[in-house]
């Protein structure tokens, strides 16, 4: 098996809807153990990029490699089983199952069942026997994340895990993510609109704009690029 | 926890087998208490209906899909019994195959049709079932078409006198035990990991894939299991009546089974069986004084869907919880 410096790598990824390229020849590689931020304005193609990497997209071109191995031909199920997990921008859980049931179900496809650890880390242990539909929005967001974290994936793609959370909740979540990623050595690609979260835990940030990569660098470098500031950060960053 | 939404989807109460055992035993006493052969006949037929409804309801519960064609598996089992015996197979083998063949057919069919969702799925099940109905109706050389065919059972099957299956008092026992066994089996299945997986797929098929599960085969297996239960009902029907006609395959029987399941409450494993019994007794009671018994069923169905979205079974659970203060599943 090929070994690669990169845990996950997308090469020349393009995805079109009609004539419109939501993703236009994007290449992106995240080294092992890195937490990479992916930012960009609404409609930039961030979720589309996640869809291509995880096998959700049906029609696309380019290649996706995991640990140097070409997984372009694999479907979503095989990619997950190979250790590539994702969370969703729109909460995507099993409302009628209890939290415990769905986390254990997700863990059952992995080599290691770390359900209890994940529930404890995300503060879901006390809610384990509640139906997912009956818990708060914040808990549902954490559950969505837990479904991706369980089984210790090697690569984690998170699509706005902090969306809809309060600032305080977001920072707590960021802390948990940094902690787990460090402890498990998992590679993370994090899409997030909350710049506090991005700048506090990402070692590098990629900026996507209109389906293309606009910039790539450390948080400090990103903050200083004028185009990025106008295209995305706007005046909200001082 | 008076919210009846909180648990019916998953029966995790271990007291359930105990309740089922008590009910099972109580049912076994009925043939000794009921003297009227007419009533015993009705009870036997109602129990066979309950088996059919349980199969249809299980599909609704686990896959969330509505089949308008499960009478096909009921009728095919009855025809398989008749035809395999006619072709000279030992009755015991014919009886086993009568359940196995429709189940395998359902598995193969399921792998294809469970990919289709919603109304299109229901229409497909209807079309497939009606195709079988037409086949047995039109192909007179095979099974006498509309006239139906008598089943040439030998004097003994599995060492038991065939009369055991054809007299209401003893056949009621057989059917009752079969129903209790089916409900227990499905209950165990529903609380297994496979049961949880299929509920998860029903709820959110996409996310199920993203936690690493293929979704077509589990749905097809549920489809096949529900068909197997209906086939068992058809087999019991064949044993009891010794006769089968295309009516056993007709969509109206599928529709009735669906109504039974909804009246009883398909979120409970045992709900549809309860609905089957209620349906059957309404049909007969109303049928005594009016030809318009379907109207009475229709009104019942409307009342249940409007007032009791979880069916009569859901109401019983709720009453049981209120009375016991605990979980009376
Ligand atoms: N299924 C689809 N059909 C047509 N267009 C689509 C589809 N999915 C996404 N798009 C378009 O592709 C572009 C990129 O969408 P995408 O969801 O990837 O953006 P995003 O960066 O995730 O935005 P947001 O920050 O709002 O989540 C948008 O213009 C969107 O309208
Ligand atoms: Mg998005």
Lowest mean pLDDT among A108-122, B277-291, B309-323: B277-291
Q: Which ligand is nearest to the CA of A41?
A: 1
**A77 to B209: CB separation less than 8 angstroms, yes or no:** yes
| Residues whose CB falls within 8 Å of the CB of residue B129, separated by 6 or more in sequence, listed in order | B68, B69, B70, B71, B72, B249, B251, B254
**A92 to B206: CB separation less than 8 angstroms, yes or no:** yes
- Percentage of residues in chain B with pLDDT exceeding 90? 64
Question: Does A167 fall in a domain?
Answer: yes
Q: How many domains does chain B have?
A: 1
CA dist A2 and A179 (Å) reads 29
Question: Does B328 fall in a domain?
Answer: no
- Please give, rounded to a whole number of angstroms, the shortest distance from the CA of A110 to a CA of chain B: 8
Q: Which two tokens stand for residue B172?
A: 């009621």
Question: Does B237 fall in a domain?
Answer: yes
Reported ipTM: 0.87
Return the best residue to mutate from A18, A43, A90, A198 for the ligand 1 pocket (most ligand atoms within 8 A of CB). A43
**A101 to B213: CB separation less than 8 angstroms, yes or no:** no
- A82–chain B Cβ distance below 8 A for any pair: no
Nearest to B193 among A96, A108, A147 (CB): A108
Strand arrangement of the beta sheet that strand A69-70 belongs to: A20-31, A6-17, A61-66, A69-70
Question: Does B8 fall in a domain?
Answer: no
pTM: 0.88
Question: Does A49 fall in a domain?
Answer: yes
CATH of the domain at B110: 1.10.3470
- Which residue's CA is the nearest one to ligand 1's atom 26? A42
Q: Which whole number is the average pLDDT over B234-250?
A: 94
Q: What's the domain range around A89? A: 33-56+74-233
Helix (H, G, I), strand (E, B) or coil at B150: strand
| Residues whose CB falls within 8 Å of the CB of residue B17, separated by 6 or more in sequence, listed in order | B184, B187
pLDDT in tens, A56-88: 888 888 999 999 999 998 989 999 999 999 999
Please give the residue of chain B at the shortest CA–CA distance from A54.
B210
Q: DSSP for B230-275?
A: HHHHHHHHHHHHSEE-GGGG-HHHHHHHHHHHHHH-TTSTTHHHHH
Return the best residue to mutate from A13, A48, A92, A206 for the ligand 1 pocket (most ligand atoms within 8 A of CB). A48
Question: Does A38 fall in a domain?
Answer: yes
Question: Does B219 fall in a domain?
Answer: yes
CA dist B281 and B146 (Å) reads 27
**A94 to B207: CB separation less than 8 angstroms, yes or no:** yes
Question: Does A5 fall in a domain?
Answer: no
Question: Does B251 fall in a domain?
Answer: yes
Question: Does B33 fall in a domain?
Answer: yes
Nearest to B207 among A109, A131, A147 (CB): A147
- The pLDDT value recorded for residue B133 is 92
CATH of the domain at A128: 3.40.50.300
Question: Does A62 fall in a domain?
Answer: no
Helix (H, G, I), strand (E, B) or coil at B170: helix
Question: Does A28 fall in a domain?
Answer: no
Please give the residue of chain B at the shortest CA–CA distance from A79.
B212
Q: What's the domain range around B127? A: 15-322
pLDDT in tens, B70-110: 999 999 999 999 999 999 999 999 999 999 999 999 999 99
Q: Which ligand is nearest to the CA of A87?
A: 2
If you ran DSSP here, which 8-state letter would residue B298 be given? H
Q: Which whole number is the average pLDDT over A183-211?
A: 91
Q: How many domains does chain A have?
A: 1
Question: Does A202 fall in a domain?
Answer: yes
| Cα–ligand 1 centroid distance for A65 (angstroms) | 23
- B212–chain A Cβ distance below 8 A for any pair: yes
pLDDT surpassing 80 at residue B317? yes
């Amino acid at each position: 098996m090929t070994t690669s410096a990169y845990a996950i790598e997308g090469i020349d990824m393009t995805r079109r809807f009609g004539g419109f390229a939501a993703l236009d020849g994007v290449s992106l590689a995240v080294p092992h153990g890195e937490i990479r931020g992916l930012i960009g304005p609404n409609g930039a193609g961030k979720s589309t990029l996640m869809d291509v990497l995880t096998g959700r997209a049906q029609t696309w071109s380019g290649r996706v490699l995991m640990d140097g191995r070409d997984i372009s031909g694999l479907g979503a199920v095989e990619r997950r089983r190979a250790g590539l997990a994702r969370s969703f921008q729109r909460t995507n859980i099993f409302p009628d199952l209890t939290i415990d049931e769905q986390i254990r179900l997700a863990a059952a496809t992995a080599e290691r069942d770390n359900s209890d650890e994940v529930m404890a880390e995300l503060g879901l242990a006390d809610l384990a026997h509640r139906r997912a539909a009956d818990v708060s929005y914040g808990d549902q967001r954490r559950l969505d994340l837990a479904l991706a974290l369980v089984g210790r994936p090697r690569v984690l793609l998170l699509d706005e895990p902090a969306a809809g959370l309060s600032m305080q909740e977001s920072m707590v979540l960021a802390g948990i993510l940094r902690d787990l990623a460090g402890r498990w050595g998992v590679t993370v690609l994090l899409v997030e609109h909350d710049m506090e979260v991005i700048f506090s835990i990402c070692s590098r940030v990629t900026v996507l704009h209109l389906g293309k990569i606009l910039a790539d660098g450390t948080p400090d470098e990103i903050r200083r690029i004028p185009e990025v500031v106008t295209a995305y950060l706007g005046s909200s960053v001082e | 926890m008076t919210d009846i939404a909180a648990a019916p989807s998953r029966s995790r109460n271990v007291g359930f087998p105990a309740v089922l055992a008590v009910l099972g035993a109580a049912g076994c006493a009925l043939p000794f208490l009921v003297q009227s052969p007419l009533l015993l006949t009705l009870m036997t037929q109602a129990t066979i209906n309950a088996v059919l409804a349980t199969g249809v309801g299980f599909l609704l519960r686990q896959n969330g899909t509505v089949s308008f064609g499960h009478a096909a598996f009921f009728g095919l089992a009855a025809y398989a019994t008749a035809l395999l015996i006619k072709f000279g197979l030992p009755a015991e083998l014919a009886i086993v195959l009568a359940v196995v063949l429709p189940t395998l057919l359902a598995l193969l069919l399921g792998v294809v049709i469970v990919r289709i969702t919603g109304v299109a799925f229901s229409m497909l099940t209807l079309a497939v079932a009606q195709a079988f109905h037409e086949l047995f109706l039109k192909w007179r050389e095979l099974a006498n078409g509309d006239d139906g065919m008598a089943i040439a059972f030998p004097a003994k099957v599995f060492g038991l006198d065939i009369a055991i299956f054809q007299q209401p008092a003893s056949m009621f026992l057989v059917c009752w035990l079969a129903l209790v066994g089916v409900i227990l089996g499905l209950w165990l299945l529903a609380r297994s990991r496979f049961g949880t997986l299929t509920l998860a797929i029903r709820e959110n098929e996409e996310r199920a894939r993203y936690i690493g599960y293929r979704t077509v085969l589990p749905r097809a297996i549920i489809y096949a299991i529900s068909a197997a239960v209906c086939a068992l009902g058809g087999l019991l029907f064949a044993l009891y009546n010794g006769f089968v006609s295309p009516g056993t395959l007709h969509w109206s029987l599928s529709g009735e089974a669906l109504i039974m399941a909804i009246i009883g409450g398909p979120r409970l494993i045992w709900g549809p069986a309860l609905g089957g019994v209620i349906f059957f007794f309404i049909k007969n009671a109303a049928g005594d004084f009016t030809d318009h018994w379907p109207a009475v069923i229709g009104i019942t169905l409307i009342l249940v869907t409007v007032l009791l979205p979880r069916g009569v079974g859901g109401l019983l659970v709720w009453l049981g919880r209120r009375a016991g203060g605990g979980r009376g599943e």
